Amino acid sequence: MAPAPVPVEVFLHSGPAQWWQVASAWTPLFVLFGAVLAAVIAWRTLKQQTRADALALEQKQLADGRTQWALDHALDKDPSSRALGLVALGTLAGSELAPVEELEMLESMSKIVAQGIPGLDPEKNP
Q: Is residue 4 part of a domain?
A: no
Q: Is residue 88 part of a domain?
A: yes
Q: Is residue 12 part of a domain?
A: no
The structure's pTM equals 0.50
pLDDT value of position 126: 47
Q: Is residue 119 part of a domain?
A: no
Q: Is residue 64 part of a domain?
A: yes
Residues 55-101 pLDDT 10s: 999 988 887 788 888 888 888 888 888 888 888 888 887 777 777 87
Let me know how long the chain is: 126
Closest CA to 75 of 106, 110, 108, 107: 110
CB 122 within 8 A of CB 109: no
Q: Is residue 3 part of a domain?
A: no
- Give the chain's domain count: 1
pLDDT value of position 37: 98
Residue 38: give the domain boundaries.
32-114
CB 89 within 8 A of CB 71: yes
Q: Is residue 124 part of a domain?
A: no
CB 66 within 8 A of CB 88: yes
Closest CA to 114 of 101, 104, 125: 125
